[in-house]
Chain A
Amino acid sequence: MQTIDMETTSLRDLNATLHAQAEMTNQTAWSIENPKGAHAIACGLDAPIDVTVKGSTGYYCAGMNKQATVNIKGSAGPGVAENMMSGTVIIDGDASQYAGATGHGGLLVIKGNASSRCGISMKGIDIVVHGNIGHMSAFMAQTGNLVVCGDAGDALGDSLYEARLFVRGSVKSLGADCIEKEMRPEHLELLADLLERAGADAKPEEFKRYGSARKLYNFNIDNAY
């Protein structure tokens, strides 16, 4: 286990050290002490390493992540795991706005609640939230899966494309062109796998599925150039 203390190591040096870990590194476990809400911790990683952040983080923690597993032992500020490509990001506490925004791949697990705009414009990432999510979540979500074990706020899935949204609790309101859809066996199977990987104690049968009605302007072929 390698330990980096942010009281004594600058953010730039911390990230440079993590970036220097090659594909075949044998230093696979990293612990970051005293994050104290700093921004951009463990951003742009691209190696199969495990990074544990011992506290709460500020903006953009684990952004653009590839391969790495980042576990935040506190809450995360805005834009956690933004544009993640692969790997896993686990937040033990809550996440602030636009968690997992524009993510292309990998798994983001939020054990507490997520705030507004969770999964906005997601492009293939899987997001599992154990608690609730805020308003405008999955706005313009293109593909990937958003699983919410609690409730969803206003305007869920507004202007959605092909992303699948699964919510166990209530949905305050659906956004434009977002509708409830039937839960077919392949969805239950997908959901069971995601819940298991995210360590969420919920049954797939308890969820409802939401997706795009495909009625907006952009879905009409006559509007294509």
Chain B
Amino acid sequence: MKYLSLIALFALLFFAACQDDDDPVQTGDIATTIQFRAEYDDTDLAIQSATYAYPTGAELKATLFQYYVSDLTLIAADSSEVELSEIELIRYDDATADNIEERTYDVPAGDYIGLRFGLGVKPELNALDPNNFAADDPLNENEFWNSTARYVFAKIEANADLENDGTFDTGLSYHMGSDALYSIVTFTGSFTLDGDNDPQLIVTSDVLKALSDGMDTFDIADPEKQRVHGGNQAVATEIWERLAGQFELLIQ
């Protein structure tokens, strides 16, 4: 009986010792958060509360910045791909919120060499009407023009003080989107996901860099260029191209 107790105690100690308490490296799925960070001229975007200088001398208060991300995908070291999400709507419209939108996905542990997404609604989804989705789905009717113009891929809205008289009384509203504008954004950068000090993946976008690249600046004083909705996409093509070209991936 005495030996039996000792054997039981030994067995308990043995199994307790087998507990993995100091080796967090995982081989299964890793909960991975991607931050989408919005900026204006390399500073955190603050909806409504901040006054931003515009290159033409005007000042802006941003009221809305949003864009769709299609087929958000991680590219593995062996060139295989892990699709994280088919569609996301990244939106900054709340004066009480910060400039970071987060999405968390279960990602297989492993080595990765890049990230890719489509800016806008990919053509397969852009062909579907909002009635195919729940009213709270990213592809809801509020982001849909009509059966010909389809979904609004990105919106930038602001109120401008063009005369520098302290009143932000000129509305700016740039709504962009069409299959022709759909753009693939690809980043390269190596990182490992194993559950142990995984890196923070941050996708940054800058409203000012969409409106001005330092050389060319969108003329917000021109009444013809203060509202772009639906059919006059040609007016905003330069905004769209700059928007698609200014994303950055930070791996921290």
Partners in one complex: no
